Amino acid sequence: MKELLVDLLGNELLVYVLMAFVPLLWILPFALFAVWWERKIAAHMQDRLGPMRTGGWHGWAQTIADILKLIQKEDIIPTAADRLLFSLAPFVVFIGAYTAFAAIPFSAAYVGTEINIGLFYIIAVSSFVVIGLLMAGWSSNNKWSLFGAMRSAAQVVSYEIPIALTLLAVVMIVGSFDLQEINRAQSGSILNWFIFQKFPLLFAAALIYFVASLAEVNRTPFDIPEAESELVAGYHTEYGGMKFALFFLAEYANMFAVSIIAATVFLGGWNSPFGEALSGPLWGVFWVLSKSMGFVFVQMWLRWTLPRLRVDQLMYVGWKVLIPFSFVIILGVGFWVLLEG
Amino acid sequence: MGRYFKNIFDAVRTILIGMRITARHLFTPSVTIQYPDVKLKLPARARNRLYVNMDDCIGCDQCSMACPVNCITIETIKSTSDVDLGVTSVGSKKRLYVPVFDIDIAKCCYCGLCVYPCPTECIKMTEVFEFSEYERENLIYNFATMTPAEVDDAKRKLAASESTAATKPAPASRGTNS
């Protein structure tokens, strides 16, 4: 796609700028509608209806109205807050969430930058988010915010290990960090998807990745950094208006990023489940997005199913369950690959 | 060690049970009633806004006396013998003009005690319960149907008949109570 655009426009810089905006075209409407979607799912799981009025049909325009309201709000910075860090934090968080999309392939023809260390890069930049969260919590000069930020840091740092290890299991099979390579290795049929290979090792790996990714994006049952009932709202307690909206956008962008990585690494990415049928660059976009939306749905589903973990339980799950299991998986897959030759 | 694996197994199993429950509720029809669009049927004899059918009111003042919060104000003017105010739907003859019949619905406690004593069943509870107002004054309902001109007319007639009665020698039985 890049070569095509360079030929068409004749300016490489312009093409890079254009390419950088492509994921945003998906993330912004996704965040808008995922919030609405989540509220509807939450409501229906509790036998309620959720927003029903704004926009007419089942309140579809509710989040659009909310964001319009947030834009109009006064931009308040608390007097005791560290102004520079306070203003910078939401952008750092969003940049951390958004830069991950640079290496994520949306289709066989489109990936922001086809770098051969794509997965490594994504794992590296997604830990960038935690710096933003810590900045937000620290600069707010509010104990609840700081508690939220500290918990979030502890959580993200612990759960990045199982994420990295489970992804490494797949990397060992493919022999490349390049996400397009990983996608191509899964083409052909649904049975080539990594979730069904080296059974049950990679299936468990997918499960561990999914659980750890929930913690990574601070979602229930691992939402202790923003636990409403304990910490008001955690690190974004003091934020309002557009800065709060940016945090929200980053949260949903992150949700989608971990989902699309799960879809790419374990569910075949842009590969069609029917082999050669219904495949192609545009169908690829459809498949990868619908697989990721499936993961997003499960994230929402779990949110309304499970209660929040305690901090010690969170550490127990991370260090004593997920990490030992991912080491077993990585050893198992390693030997399997070695013996197969 | 066995306990460790059992805990993990139990965690996964119970999470799946929980997910099955929430998934089932996702497709359960919701219990929400879209209120202004959909309204529940009110129970029989529900007590809501009062209504007075002035055609039937004989101005007996019994509802006003029954009211525990004094929210009903009634004034009456006696009719003279030459006018016929008609009869109510239950057949009792109307003898009094009712120029004022105000119900301060903001005071009303919806006890329904005014409804029972009414001899002509003209004051009753309706099904209307949505009548909020921005001004408190708008909650004072004026049910009287007489125009100011009619009120003046009735008063003048009564005064005239009373003055003619006063010029006549008063019958001994006529008290001072009216």
ipTM for the complex?
0.80
Q: A181, exposed or middle or buried, with CB in 10 Å at 0-12, 13-18, 19+? A: middle
The one-character DSSP state at A310 is: P
Contacts with B23 from chain A: Cβ below 8 Å: 301
- Angle formed by the axes of helices A83-99 and A241-266, nearest 10°: 30
Determine whether the interchain pair A49/B34 forms a contact, defined as Cβ–Cβ distance below 8 Å: yes
Residues linked to residue B87 through DSSP beta bridges, in sequence order: B93
C-alpha span between A94 and A100 (Å, rounded): 10
CATH for B50-160 is: 3.30.70.3270
Q: What is the pLDDT of residues B67-109, one digit of tens each?
A: 999 988 998 888 877 777 788 887 788 888 888 888 898 888 9
List the single residue in A47, A302, A304 with the smallest CB-CB distance to B31: A47
| Domain interval for residue A290 | 83-340
State which residue of chain A sits closest to B8, comparing Cα positions.
A321
Residue B106 CA to residue A284 CA, distance in Å, equals 65
pLDDT at B6: 93
Is A180 within a domain?
yes
Q: Which of B1, B20, B26 is most worth mutating to test chain A (most A CB atoms within 10 A of its CB)?
A: B26
Structure tokens at A335: 């030997």
Chain B, nearest residue to A40 by Cα: B26
Closest CA to A250 of A31, A4, A102, A1: A31
Asked if B28 lies within 8 A of A47 by C-beta distance, the reply is yes
Q: Which residues of B touch A321 (CB under 8 A)?
A: 8
| DSSP letters spanning A176-226 | ---HHHHHHHT-SSGGGSGGGSTTTHHHHHHHHHHHHHHHHTT-TTS-GGG
| 3-state secondary structure at position A67 | helix
Q: Which of B9, B32, B37, B38 is the best substitution to test chain A (most A C-beta atoms within 10 A)?
A: B32
Please list every residue in chain B whose beta carbon sits closer than 8 Å to the beta carbon of residue A304: 22
Contact check, Cβ <8 Å, A45/B8: no
Q: What whole-number distance in Å separates Cα of residue A239 and Cα of residue A233?
A: 10
Per the domain annotation, does A332 fall within a domain?
A: yes
A42 inside domain: no
Contacts of B31 in chain A (CB under 8 A): 47-48
**Disruptive mutation site among A45, A53, A304, A309 for chain B (greatest number of B CBs within 10 Å):** A45
Residue A18 domain flag: no
Domain boundaries, chain B: 1-31, 50-160
- DSSP character string of chain B: -HHHHHHHHHHHHHHHHHHHHHHHHHTSPP----TTTS-PPPPTT----EEE-TTT-----HHHHH-TT--EEEEEEEPPTT----B-TTSPBP-EEEEEEEEETTT-----TTTTT-TT--EEE-S------SSGGGGEEE-----HHHHHHHHHHHHHHHHHHHHSPPPTT--S--
pLDDT in tens, B9-27: 998 999 999 999 999 988 8
- Collapsing DSSP to helix, strand or coil, A150 comes out as helix
**Encoded amino acid at B93, one letter:** K
- What total of structural domains would you count in chain A? 1
Q: Which residue of A has its CA nearest to B30?
A: A47
Print pLDDT tens along chain A (341 aa). 667 777 777 777 888 888 888 888 888 888 888 889 888 888 888 888 888 888 888 888 888 888 888 888 888 888 888 888 888 888 888 888 888 888 888 887 777 777 888 888 888 888 888 888 888 888 888 888 888 888 888 888 888 889 999 988 888 888 888 888 888 888 877 888 888 887 888 888 999 999 998 888 888 788 877 777 777 777 888 887 888 888 888 888 888 989 999 998 888 888 888 877 777 778 888 888 899 999 999 988 988 888 888 888 888 888 999 999 999 999 998 898 888 86
Query: What angle (nearest 5°) sits at the alpha carbon of residue A122, between those of residues A120 and A128?
Result: 115
Q: Do B19 and A305 touch (CB under 8 A)?
A: yes
Nearest to A47 among B8, B15, B30 (CB): B30
d(C-alpha A287, C-alpha A280), whole Å: 10
Instruction: Check: CB of residue A153 under 8 Å from CB of residue A134.
Output: yes
Is the entire prediction scored with pTM above 0.90? no
Q: Do A301 and B22 touch (CB under 8 A)?
A: yes
User: Residue B178: is its pLDDT beyond 50?
Assistant: no
Q: Which residue of B has its CA nearest to A46?
A: B25
Q: Which residues of A touch B32 (CB under 8 A)?
A: 47-49
A290 near A126, Cβ under 8 Å? no
Residues of B in contact with A48 (CB under 8 A): 30-32
What does the pLDDT read at residue B173? 55
What span, in angstroms and rounded, lies between the C-alpha atoms of B7 and B14? 10
**What angle is formed at CA A185 by the lines to CA A183 and CA A187, rounded to 5 degrees?**
75
CA pseudo-torsion sign A164, A169, A172, A174: negative
User: Does a structural domain hold residue A263?
Assistant: yes
